[in-house]
Each structure stands twice: as C-alpha cells, then as structure tokens.
Amino acid sequence: MALNLQMFLGKKNFDCQKAERWFKERRIPLQLVDLNKKPLSKGEFDSVVAAVGLLSLIDQESKLYLESPLRFTSDPGFIRRLLFENQRLLKTPILRCGRKATVGFCPEVWEQWMQEAAK
C-alpha cells in the first residue's frame, strides 16, 4: 500500500532539509507544499491541529513569534485564528499522512507509518 504523504514547508530550515533528505534516501514519494505559495486550507489546518495539538504548531524560535501577540496569550481560539491567518508562525516541516501528522523532524514516527503501510 502506498502512502499519500504531504510535507508542508515554510522557510527552508534545517529540519525541512533533513526531512526531505530522509524521504529521498528511502525513495519514498512525497508531495511538497510551500506554505508561502499555498497555505493550509481550513480542513488541513484542523486535521493537523487534531493530530498534533495546537501549541506544538507554534514556531517559538522564529523572529516572527517573538514579535507576535502569541507570546502573551493562552486563549486557544485566539491562537488558532492567529496561526491560521499567519502560517509563517507555524513550525515546519508539517508532514501529513491521512489523519496522522507530525511537526518537525520525526523519523521514528515516519518509520512507524512505513511499517504500518507495509502490512
């Protein structure tokens, strides 16, 4: 069974490059989506939030985060709206496989997905 994998990338950071290389070395096909050109749809965003949690999506190391009101709030509705409206605040890479998702470099989870797909 083939996996339908989507990797959402923001700026090219080290984790995005490592993730791309990880899949390329294993010859696993991957759909790359540049968040700057095509942001997550509402459904995709909600699916990722459901899989990984809202707070794990925030790139707390970015300069943009340090300048945003996200630093000063714990209101989930406000955080969700701000992240959806400004997807440059998202930590990348975001990898989706159906309803499953990861944020950041997570090869152990991806390996598990490959094993489940091989069954």
- pLDDT reported for residue 29: 92
What is the chain's pLDDT, residue by residue, as a tens digit (119 residues)? 567 899 999 877 899 999 999 999 999 999 999 999 999 999 999 999 999 999 999 999 989 999 999 999 999 999 999 999 999 999 999 999 989 999 999 999 999 999 988 88
Structural domain span for residue 39: 5-118
Overall domain count for the chain: 1
Omega before 93 within 30 of 0, i.e. cis:
yes
Query: pTM, whole model, 2 decimals?
Result: 0.91
- CATH number for the domain that contains residue 41: 3.40.30.10
Kindly write down the DSSP assignment for every residue of 13-45, as one continuous string.
-HHHHHHHHHHHHTT---EEEETTTSPPPHHHH
